[in-house]
Structure 1
Amino acid sequence: MTILKFVIPCVVLLVLGGLLVWEPHIELAFYSRDWIQSEIEPILPLAGCFHPDRVSSQYNLSEALYGHKQTEVHAGLPLRLGMDCYDFAGTIQGPRPLDALGGEERTYYHTYWRTDLAAFGPRQEWMLKSFFATQDTDHTTLVLWSNGDLSGNAILAKWRERFPEAFELRVVDYGELARGTELEGSDLLRVKDTRAWIDGDLVRLLVLWAFGGVWVDMDSLLTRDLAPLLEHEFVTQWDCYDKIYMPFNGALMRFRQHSPYLCEAFHVMVTSQPPRKGTTDWGALLYLKLWRRLVAAGVPPFKVLPFCFSDARSCRLDNRLPDPFASDPKNGQWTLGLGREEGGGLDKALGRIFSVHLHNQWEKAYPAGGWVERLLLRRYEEALSWSRKSDDL
């Protein structure tokens, strides 16, 4: 007992002293070995969607897979250190790559809202404002998909009147969207959960298959024009930690109409175990299965955008974006000696990335005068006010 009286205080002092010197980064995850052996390790063959005889006439296979690209979006590194990821995002510049879009006049952006889970209100409206304030509405259209009729919503009616060519409301018809795919007529089209994870992941793939374009989760705020990314088909990196079984995220993704990548994804869905409710089985796990099958078959895979392009909240404590729902500190600092003031380090970083993904934290409010309000929301309002004045001239 006497020894313990000395040992315990010494251990406590060592731990506290260590915390003054070192900053711990700990992340634990536990996976069933049976699940790994059945869902991760097997690499099954592709369904043949990339065979020239099966590729849609609306999809230019050679250009999409091997054509010249103006930009490079895959860094090849996890970009964990300092401002590396933000700096790399800043290298992605250029106009809308018309040649890479196959001559399409407009690019469709898609998002989804479950009307039975919550009403569409002012908080959800910020995603719309971010789109209209940052994207080229002469060449893009935002389609808000839902599982119910939203035409009577006053907020949405206002934006439909203001941007009749750049904003549409549509109700999801799973049977129609799945026409011509392996999911056509499948009971899997009726699967959903109370978080809108499974059906949300399904809607992503179906609308991109049917119409092509860009998917943006509703819980996102766009920060700049996505035009330089459009020549690529891509998903995004989940975070900077390279989760071995969950490396990909679909909060921001882009595929062309009738893309063979999506055709192969549907094959994986119908030949795998049904998705578990409240999981990303049709999201992160599906993308991983598909990516591994593609490279095993010698097919160039879809691109993977670095984490900070849309999920810069998910990295080290010293370089992640600040908590969007916490008030700014009195010293006005962000990280690495960079400030939060207008024109400061945080402001510049936001100007390089493409979106801020908020991960369904709908119940939290943006602090008055916080960085989200100062550097994003106010600027959306300013851009939209200027746009309205230009329209009135």
Structure 2
Amino acid sequence: MSSYGDEDSIPLHSRGHAPSRSRIYWRTEMTIRQLLRPRAIISLLKVVVPLVVLSVLLGLYYWEPHVEIAFYNRAWVSQEILQVPPLAGCFARDRVSPTYNVTDALYGPRHTEVHAGTPLQFGMDCYDFAGTVQLRSQSPPRESIPPDDRIQYHTYWRTDLAAFGPRQEWMLKSFFATQDLSRSRLILWSNGDLSQNAILQKWLRRYPNSFALKVVDYHTLARGTELEGSELLNVNDTKAWIDGDLVRLLVIWAYGGVWVDMDSLLTRDLAPLLEHEFVTQWDCYDKKYVPMNGALMRFHKHSPYLCEAFHVMATSPPPRKGTTDWGALLYLKLRRRLLAAGIPPFKVLPFCFSDARSCRLDNRLPDPFAPDPSHGLWTMGLGREEGGGLDKALGKVFSVHLHNQWDKPFPRGGWVERLLLRRYDERIGSGEL
């Protein structure tokens, strides 16, 4: 038994020895227990919470947050994305329409290149690439081209959603001001009769060979396709999410040409693009499962690409309500099947060609519905004045997609009014006869 003065009674750390592992563990555990006590936690929060709030406020002052999170069901991805079923055979020689030249459409020489091959996310890369797509010189036609023989441009307005008014008229003006009206015709499709609309009557009188109205008949347009007689054609108000995708594919199948969403403002002649069949990139972020859309698209009449698209629609599970399954997902499915079959796929225009608002905060087009800032700058030191950086970028791209927002007015004196709308009126006048 040791006495008080025995060496064994002296703590180890007093004798120059390191404390044991058990003693270190015990002290660490005691420290953690103390920190986890309610009083300690409250004291810690009194310091941490203000620091976090201050950091967030400072961050919001210097940076604009841009966060997008999406969740995809793994079973859905496995079934709808990863599987690559075979094509329906629309490119077989005995099935291709005599109006469609496979050799030229798939393998013919091209003057322009529209598929960038890279995301073009940085700086002015996308705008500069768009500027490389130029039209070969064309002499005026010797005689008037019949309306049905012109390049057909298609757009669509649902009469049951809102009346066709001055805001919708700007899309028509953008077409008349930017396209070669001696070679093109715009068809405004609708699900109701628009022939009595005063605005549209005015433009029909002024451009009888370059503008027309048509009412959609899904069953007539679908003749000769895999959707003929399908229940999917029975579109009603509860299936408005299907409506837009059906219209654009069916009218281009039946007539050929170019589809332009009604909520677009054309900024440049689309002719340099027309030697290709294409859809457009959704945005510059390379979304895995929804990389493409049809807001601006071009296919020939009775194109086998569209024939295959109808097969995908007819044989796939019904689209999930409120999704883009028949838009972005449809084109992805079709493209992967074409690649697996060794068939050159349709082109995909870079995002900025038609939707330059859908990219990074430092290079996207400004908000069309927000007033210009007092400093007059756009980005990277580029200005919004006539002849400035924004003006030059608009001259390189082909369209500005407004993403509906029909209830929002264009700010008076804003960049849309100054650089686009006023110029439309200058080129074509008010449209009065």
Give yes or no for the alignment of 1:175 onto 2:216: no
Give the superposition deviation at 1:94: 1.4
Give yes or no for the alignment of 1:61 onto 2:102: yes
2:121 to 56, 80, 87: 80
2:203 to 159, 173, 186: 159
Aligned Cα root-mean-square deviation (Å): 2.0
Question: 1:129 touches 1:380 (CA, 8 Å); kept in 2?
Answer: yes
Q: Deviations over 1:254-295 (max 9, x none)?
A: 000000000000000110112233322221111111011111
C-alpha distance in structure 2 between counterparts of 1:304 and 1:92, whole Å: 14
Give the superposition deviation at 1:193: 4.5
Question: 2:235 touches 2:243 (CA, 8 Å); kept in 1?
Answer: yes
Give the superposition deviation at 1:246: 0.6
Residue 109 of structure 1: aligned partner: 153
Gaps of 5+ in 1: 99-103
2:79 to 28, 38, 42: 38
2:52 to 11, 22, 25: 11
Question: 1:96 touches 1:227 (CA, 8 Å); kept in 2?
Answer: no
Residue 332 of structure 1: aligned partner: 376
Question: 1:188 touches 1:274 (CA, 8 Å); kept in 2?
Answer: no
SS at structure 2 position matched to 1:132: helix
Residue 23 of structure 2: aligned partner: none
C-alpha distance in structure 1 between counterparts of 2:44 and 2:265, whole Å: 57
SS at structure 1 position matched to 2:321: coil
Which amino acid letter does the alignment assign opposite residue 258 of structure 2?
V
Distance 1:152 1:22, change over 3 A: closer
Residue 257 of structure 1: aligned partner: 301
Q: Name which one, 1 or 2, has greater alpha-carbon Rg.
A: 2
Which amino acid letter does the alignment assign opposite residue 157 of structure 1?
Q
SS at structure 1 position matched to 2:429: helix
TM-score (norm 2): 0.85
Which amino acid letter does the alignment assign opposite residue 371 of structure 1?
W
Residue 203 of structure 1: aligned partner: 247
C-alpha distance in structure 2 between counterparts of 1:97 and 1:310, whole Å: 24
Q: Deviations over 1:166-225 (max 9, x none)?
A: 001001111111011101111110134458431111010001001100000000000000
SS at structure 2 position matched to 1:144: strand
C-alpha distance in structure 2 between counterparts of 1:386 and 1:202, whole Å: 34
SS at structure 2 position matched to 1:378: helix
Residue 292 of structure 1: aligned partner: 336
C-alpha distance in structure 1 between counterparts of 2:240 and 2:345, whole Å: 27
Write the mapping of 1:194-273 to structure 2, written as runs, cut at 5 A: 196-273=240-317
Give yes or no for the alignment of 1:320 onto 2:364: yes
Residue 101 of structure 1: aligned partner: none
SS at structure 1 position matched to 2:153: strand
C-alpha distance in structure 1 between counterparts of 2:179 and 2:431, whole Å: 12
C-alpha distance in structure 2 between counterparts of 1:131 and 1:357, whole Å: 14
C-alpha distance in structure 2 between counterparts of 1:93 and 1:145, whole Å: 29
Give the superposition deviation at 1:387: 9.4
Question: 1:96 touches 1:228 (CA, 8 Å); kept in 2?
Answer: no
Residue 93 of structure 1: aligned partner: 134
Residue 346 of structure 1: aligned partner: 390
Question: 1:97 touches 1:227 (CA, 8 Å); kept in 2?
Answer: no
SS at structure 2 position matched to 1:79: coil
C-alpha distance in structure 1 between counterparts of 2:228 and 2:216, whole Å: 14
Which amino acid letter does the alignment assign opposite residue 191 of structure 1?
V
Which amino acid letter does the alignment assign opposite residue 233 of structure 2?
L
By relative contact order (CA 8 Å, sep 6+), the higher-ranking structure is 1
Which amino acid letter does the alignment assign opposite residue 129 of structure 1?
K
Which amino acid letter does the alignment assign opposite residue 50 of structure 1?
F
Which amino acid letter does the alignment assign opposite residue 272 of structure 2?
P
SS at structure 2 position matched to 1:209: helix
Give the superposition deviation at 1:37: 2.0
Give the superposition deviation at 1:5: 2.3
C-alpha distance in structure 2 between counterparts of 1:277 and 1:166, whole Å: 37
Residue 130 of structure 1: aligned partner: 174
C-alpha distance in structure 2 between counterparts of 1:60 and 1:283, whole Å: 26
C-alpha distance in structure 2 between counterparts of 1:121 and 1:195, whole Å: 24
C-alpha distance in structure 1 between counterparts of 2:298 and 2:195, whole Å: 27
Give yes or no for the alignment of 1:70 onto 2:114: no
SS at structure 2 position matched to 1:232: coil
Question: 1:198 touches 1:279 (CA, 8 Å); kept in 2?
Answer: no
Question: 2:178 touches 2:269 (CA, 8 Å); kept in 1?
Answer: yes
Question: 2:202 touches 2:431 (CA, 8 Å); kept in 1?
Answer: no
C-alpha distance in structure 2 between counterparts of 1:271 and 1:145, whole Å: 27
Q: Deviations over 1:207-246 (max 9, x none)?
A: 1001100000000000000000000000000000011111
State which drifts further: 194-203 or 43-52. Answer: 194-203
Question: 2:81 touches 2:333 (CA, 8 Å); kept in 1?
Answer: yes
TM-score (norm 1): 0.93
C-alpha distance in structure 2 between counterparts of 1:35 and 1:180, whole Å: 31
C-alpha distance in structure 2 between counterparts of 1:218 and 1:267, whole Å: 27
Residue 425 of structure 2: aligned partner: 381
